[in-house]
Amino acid sequence: MKVLVTGSNGQLGRDLFPILKQTFDAIGFSREQLDITSQEQVLSVVDSEKPDVIVHAAAYTAVDAAESDQDTAFTVNAYGTRNMALAAEKVGAKLCYISTDYVFDGTGTKPYNEYDNTNPMGVYGKSKRAGEQLVQTLCSRFFIVRTSWVYGKHGANFVKTMLKLGQERDKLSVVQDQTGSPTYTVDLSNFLRDLIQSESYGIYHASNTGGCSWFEFASEIFRQTGLPVKLTPCTTEDFPRPAPRPRYSVMDHMSIRTNGFKDLPQWQDALERFLEELGDSWEVDG
């Protein structure tokens, strides 16, 4: 099976591509190699490669910048996804689109399942939801995979930021009133590998199992690493940002369960394995 991966140089892509390469004939394209906003280029590349599956991980993910740059966010996340959907349909490929918990408004109090109503609040979430709608409209065989709070060895993320700050300071304030599900890129990649081999099309929620606040996540990071940091809980209002964040975005994995897939491990277990993967490097550069 031939798999084409967009965004192969991103935080998820840099773990996803090698994992897919172990099982499939995989080819990866970075942003520099494939401009997903060019319909002509996308159609040409996909027609030339003729993949059986496209995993579309490329995205505009600058959540705050999107608030003042709506056109770019939609050009990449909506129309770039439309281009991939059209190309996939033209060559008869499955399309796996990576989406986000930001499609929900965060006003819920229990985990969101795949068919709860979406109501994105910010430009980023709206642009990703638009991408979902275009995939559903244009593709006959698709997987939409919503994930959240992603971290991995490559790129910037919350875990690496906490490790860096934890070496520089002995006191930190961390937001306590936002709750979600951390997701380790390796665990997500392993799930995607299994999913794209199936014919179980539809929407999936894929995060590490369980939920926590950012404060609880930071507490567990410092507990596992032994960094002597005194944490103080604070509110979202204490750290105002241009883009609204979902206050609650824990996701229920109903589609994983009902389609017979193995669920992702608990988030605490995932964090432990990630810290082991980092080894001593976090002590040097976070």
By annotation, the residues acting in catalysis are: 124
SS3 172: strand
How far is the C-alpha of 126 from the C-alpha of 194, rounded, in Å?
A: 28
Residues 6+ apart with CB under 8 A from 172: 162, 165, 166, 218, 229, 230, 231, 232
Which positions ≥6 away from 34 have C-beta within 8 Å?
Answer: 6, 41, 42, 45, 58
The two three-digit tokens of residue 251, written as one number: 């996701």
- For residue 167, how many other CB atoms are within 10 A of its CB? 15
Q: Using only the alpha carbons of the chain, give its radius of gyration.
A: 19
- Residue 188 has phi, psi (to 5 degrees) of -65, -40
Q: Which two tokens stand for residue 221?
A: 């990071």
Strand duo 179-180 + 142-147: pairing: unpaired
User: Which residues, including other chains, have CB under 8 Å from residue 261's CB and lie 6 or more apart?
Assistant: 191, 194, 195, 198, 200
**Which uninterrupted H or E stretch holds 107?**
none
- Whole-angstrom distance, CA of residue 167 vs CA of residue 87: 47
| Identity at 191, one-letter amino acid code | F
Q: Nearest 5°: phi and psi at 158? A: -60, -45
